[in-house]
Amino acid sequence: MTEEGESRSVNSQFAVSVLDQLKLFYEEKLLTDITLLVEDHEFHCHKIILATCSSYFRAMFMSGLSESKQSHVHLRNVDPITLQTIIAYAYTGNLEITHSTVELLYETACFLQVDGVVCACRDFLLRSLSVENCVRILSLADAFGCAELKRSAQRVVELNFRHVCRGEAFLQLSHTLLLELLGSDALDVEREETVRQAAALWLEHDAAHRERHLSAVLSLVRVDALAEITQRAWFRGLPQNHKSIVIQGLYKSMPKFFKPRLGMTKEEMLIFVDTDSSSDYSNHDFHRPPSEFNNLHLRRSPSNNNDDDLPLHHLPSSNDDSQRSITCYSPQAEKVYKLTSPPDDLRRFGILVTPDNDVFVAGGEQPVKNGKWKAVQSFYWLDAQQNAWVAKAAMLTARTRPTLVFCHGFVYAIGGGGYDDMGGSHDDDVTMECYDRRRDEWSATSPMPTHSSLSQNNMAAVAVNDRVYIIIHDAMFCYSPRNDVWTEIMAQRRRSCLGSASFFSGTATAAVLGDLIFYVSGGGDSAMEIYDTSRDEWRTIAAVPVADGDGAAVSEVCVRAVVLFDTLCVFVRERHGGYALIRYDATRERWLRPQPIPHRALGRLGNRLRLAVAKLYPSCLTELPWKPPACPFPPDDEEEFSTDGETLELPDL
């Protein structure tokens, strides 16, 4: 007997050797006592091994029923290759899961109650949920009672309902799952017509057997949300014996009509990411990150009563996340919201919004000891309903301020490694890598050709017609994802080049509208060029109309081009420090009147701000306590102003 407190070492090699011996016995068919028969395949196994990992076999062999005394057991509706994978797991603990085998493996493991394989498959499916497989996985999770997987799959279906509702997997849904989806407030649809069409397609797919579900299905269509002409046309087209059923269903579900789906509440917003860090600002610098502004209190200056120039004073806050939040601005509602920042104090990251409205951030820097920062490979997707970032597969290379672009169904991260802040690449090549959303993995691509004036600041990247275009102030390159080849575009630029890249201290920006690329060099002169990809030619348009100011507060204009409400717009921080949103009328080829944005809405933004446009849910964001002014601000240095013969004092803010 050992003394009290004495520890015994565990011989892990012994356990490994036992498993190796059992595997050898299985392969050599030694001492086997049960044969599993699947189709024309035989698997000679050991009952003790099968019972150890499978509740199904444990109950079979220990129940005392006839199966426990048999030497051969027939397994029906089981795939032999999948069973071989599970048996290999039982003898070795190793499990190989691929995208092509996971669903059948999960189904078989659930049937045989192999908990280890079930959990591994569930985690794999959770990680690989996508638009292409979410409906199938929803049905699978529902059939085998996996609540966690079902919730996750249903959320993906709801977020992508307009894309998946016409697929074969959707048409094969059980009526109970269909009713859950049609009744959900979280459907990301902008029109109720999408829901009505999905319900009709499902009913028509197997009309003879699904007619009994007609009332339940159609009662979940929120008729009041349909356009009146659509309501009449739809009702008139129904068979006569269906109309009374529909009317009964409508009265039963009437209270639900007036609640919009989540997708109907989306607003197109500007997302401001100030990639400068707090150390990039001096005490006298005009610019500050918007994250700092969100926790500042405004007080009236005795020397200047212009609201846009009120000094800012810190208020203490215990919420670290709020201090590094991302600002969102809704131009239509003139409201400001807080979008949570990526984890771990990430800064200087790239941001991208895909045509499907997925928001990604990549790369950046995270703090380490002694106040230093290190570049990281982080990559996150925004769960807009939860206002939270979800970690995806890390990039192959750590990148600071990478340029992100979406093309041909893939996300590309360009540059961001080996750059200093003011230009000049430290590497011979500008590397690029590609992200496959379906597989959640990155792969390397051909590096971008080098150029003497290339820097991270003056490089803009866009995608047009399944090609990536990289624009520098005096050069342009095109990348074809299909053959992984770069080419330099030699179309003549109309605007003369102004020296080396160091002249362009601002950040270049570009936006795409149809076949046209609108490019602003970031040189501080607000000039814009257009490249027509179909004609392979450049042309210039009138410079962005910005106010000159006296240049005392801000040294240069900061312009960012975006497509907002299907129209080319530019966000401008003018020389005097004011903000404005200016639309471009492409038909008349002229700029429209600027829409001012008060400082109090956005705070003070740095030169390297990144700007993106996404449709977000206001109800899922935190609205910041700012509202448009209800009355004009007092002119000049007046503390009060007169209206209708009465003198009103403006209260301190």
What integer pLDDT is reported at residue 26 of this predicted model? Answer: 80
pLDDT tens sequence across 140-185: 999 999 999 999 999 999 999 999 999 999 999 999 999 999 999 9
Residue 633 in any domain: the answer is: no
The share of the chain scoring above pLDDT 90, in percent, equals 47
pLDDT at 610 > cutoff 70:
yes
pLDDT at 644 > cutoff 50:
no
Greater confidence (214 vs 457) lies with 214
What integer pLDDT is reported at residue 232 of this predicted model? Answer: 63
Find, among 553, 539, 440, 523, the residue nearest to 491 by Cα.
539
What integer pLDDT is reported at residue 307 of this predicted model? Answer: 37
Residue 79 in any domain: the answer is: yes
Band of residue 18 on the pLDDT scale cut at 50, 70, 90: confident
Band of residue 66 on the pLDDT scale cut at 50, 70, 90: confident
Residue 639 in any domain: the answer is: no
Residue 605 and residue 573 in contact, taking contact as beta carbons nearer than 8 Å: yes
Query: What is the helix, strand, coil percentage profile of the chain, to 5?
Result: 30, 25, 45
pLDDT at 29 > cutoff 90:
no
Instruction: Tell whether 234 and 324 lie within a shared domain.
Output: no
Greater confidence (473 vs 582) lies with 582
- Number of domains the chain is built from: 3
CA distance 546 to 606: 17
Instruction: Tell whether 476 and 334 lie within a shared domain.
Output: yes
pLDDT at 401 > cutoff 80:
yes
Greater confidence (334 vs 499) lies with 334
Instruction: Tell whether 458 and 564 lie within a shared domain.
Output: yes
What integer pLDDT is reported at residue 301 of this predicted model? Answer: 31
Instruction: Tell whether 78 and 153 lie within a shared domain.
Output: no
Residue 650 in any domain: the answer is: no
Instruction: Tell whether 52 and 175 lie within a shared domain.
Output: no
**Which tokens belong to 241?**
């014996």
pLDDT winner (highest mean) among 2-6, 137-141, 587-591: 137-141
CA distance 616 to 422: 33
Instruction: Tell whether 45 and 168 lie within a shared domain.
Output: no
pLDDT at 360 > cutoff 80:
yes
Instruction: Tell whether 28 and 176 lie within a shared domain.
Output: no
pLDDT at 466 > cutoff 90:
yes
Lowest mean pLDDT: which of 273-277, 291-295, 356-360, 600-604?
Answer: 291-295
Can you tell me the mean pLDDT for 570-594? 88
Q: How many CA atoms lie within 13 A of 222 on its CB side?
A: 20
The share of the chain scoring above pLDDT 70, in percent, equals 74
Residue 280 in any domain: the answer is: yes
Instruction: Tell whether 317 and 215 lie within a shared domain.
Output: no
Average pLDDT value over all residues in the chain: 79
Band of residue 319 on the pLDDT scale cut at 50, 70, 90: very low
CA distance 466 to 234: 38
Q: Which one-letter DSSP state was computed for residue 488? A: E
What integer pLDDT is reported at residue 521 of this predicted model? Answer: 80
Residue 616 in any domain: the answer is: yes
What integer pLDDT is reported at residue 373 of this predicted model? Answer: 92
pLDDT tens sequence across 209-231: 998 898 888 888 887 777 665 66
What integer pLDDT is reported at residue 558 of this predicted model? Answer: 84
pLDDT at 433 > cutoff 90:
yes
pLDDT tens sequence across 243-297: 555 555 554 555 455 678 999 999 999 999 976 544 343 333 333 433 333 333 3
- Domain-terminating residue out of 264, 284, 315: 264
What integer pLDDT is reported at residue 245 of this predicted model? Answer: 57
pLDDT at 108 > cutoff 50:
yes
pLDDT at 27 > cutoff 90:
no
CA distance 396 to 256: 48
Band of residue 522 on the pLDDT scale cut at 50, 70, 90: low
Instruction: Tell whether 217 and 324 lie within a shared domain.
Output: no
Q: What is the 3-state secondary structure (H, E, C) of 95-149?
A: CCCCCCCHHHHHHHHHHHCCHHHHHHHHHHHHHCCCCCCHHHHHHHHHHCCCHHH
Residue 222 and residue 256 in contact, taking contact as beta carbons nearer than 8 Å: yes
- Domain-terminating residue out of 223, 248, 264: 264
- Domain-terminating residue out of 230, 264, 298: 264
Place of tokens 């993906």: 156
pLDDT winner (highest mean) among 5-14, 540-549, 638-647: 540-549
Residue 644 in any domain: the answer is: no
CA distance 34 to 56: 14
CATH number, position 241: 1.25.40.420
Lowest mean pLDDT: which of 15-24, 43-52, 479-488, 604-613?
Answer: 15-24
Find, among 631, 506, 626, the residue nearest to 570 by Cα.
506
What integer pLDDT is reported at residue 405 of this predicted model? Answer: 97
Read out DSSP for 575-622? Answer: TTS-EEEEEEETTTTEE---EEE-HHHH----TTEEEEEEEE-GGGSE
Max CA separation in the chain (angstroms):
106
- pTM metric for this prediction: 0.74
Can you tell me the mean pLDDT for 617-636? 70
pLDDT at 49 > cutoff 60:
yes
pLDDT at 124 > cutoff 80:
yes
Can you tell me the mean pLDDT for 316-336? 68
Find, among 339, 306, 309, 308, the residue nearest to 322 by Cα.
339
Residue 1 in any domain: the answer is: no
Instruction: Tell whether 154 and 53 lie within a shared domain.
Output: no
Instruction: Tell whether 332 and 414 lie within a shared domain.
Output: yes
Question: What's the domain range around 235?
Answer: 149-264
